Amino acid sequence: MPDTLSLQGKVAIVTGSGRENGIGAGIALALARNGASVVVNYVSDSSKSRAENVCNMLREAGGQAISVQASVETKEGAKYLIDKTLEGLKTDHVDILVNNAGTAFLSPITQDPNVEELTKVFQLNVFGAFYMVHYVIEHMPPGGRIINISSTNSKRGNVMIAPYAASKAALDSLTWSWAGELGRSKGITVNSVAPGPVITDIYPPGMEEAFTAEEVSLTRAADRAGTPGDIGDAVLLLVNEKSRWITGQYIGTSGGVTY
């Protein structure tokens, strides 16, 4: 077996990867840099140019990339993303799925519940991953890799964005269940990768430090927040063939934040 992390010939989908400074883009870049053909997924028309910028980054790194506009929070959107992947990359299979798309909002329990926002968080963060896995597995060969992007908040909680933390805990539970369901039967591994503080534009403008300061103070690897590249490199290790015996795991990629 060659001693390499090459993903040459592999097809990957990274949901929610259409922002240049986002975790999804960092993951997509790590995969493309190592030879994978990557689908960059984005949602809104206003994000199209940013998604194309990400694709250009991936191509410059030596990978093949296409962008697909689709909202995975619906069954139709998830299926469309799979179909367009197969069509756009002229393939009949998907080797790697990274469920990265997610959302959050400020939600103190003392305030009147915003039902629309609560629904959106679980619809995208949990149902979106469910739909994607459902539609991808018929096209995923043995040795396939599914990575769910979780968060340290799933175990630590978060008093500012409790529904987000709860949705990530639900996603972790799906990871453990799917690892059992898809392992022996299909040869597919499923793992959660849980970033700690990473400065991206998922945070409200001007509040990045307020959201991350506590966790940054708890990191052990260095006195800083993580980067999208840090998360991308961790995902790269897990989607490689050498990680075939790792499944159903919660992998903290937080610089050593403990709970």
Establish whether 186 is a catalytic residue. Answer: no
Catalytic residue among 107, 151, 167, 254: 151
Catalytic (active site) residue 46: no
196 burial level (CB within 10 Å; 0-12, 13-18, 19+):
buried
Residue in the structure block whose two tokens are 């367009």: 84
To the query of whether residue 243 is one of the catalytic residues in this protein, the response is no
Q: Which of 37, 95, 91 is nearest to 67 (CA)?
A: 37
Neighbours of 2 (CB within 10 A): 6
Marked catalytic residue, from 17, 107, 164, 167:
164
Which among 67, 71, 107, 150 is annotated as catalytic?
150
Helix (H, G, I), strand (E, B) or coil at 28: helix
* CA 59 remoteness from chain centre: 20
10, 17, 84, 168: the active-site residue: 168
What is 155-210 written as a DSSP string? HH--SSSHHHHHHHHHHHHHHHHHHHHHHHHH--EEEEEEE--B--TTSPTT-HHH
**SS3 state at 41:** strand
Active site residue 164: yes
Task: Tell me if 212 sits within 8 A of 153, measured CB to CB.
Answer: no
Which ranges constitute the DSSP H helices of 63-161? 75-88, 115-122, 128-136, 153-156
Residue 148 region, left (φ>0) first, then alpha (ψ -120 to 50), else beta? beta
First to last CA, the chain: 38
> How many other β-carbons are positioned within 10 Å of the β-carbon of residue 61?
17
Catalytic site residues?
150-151, 164, 168
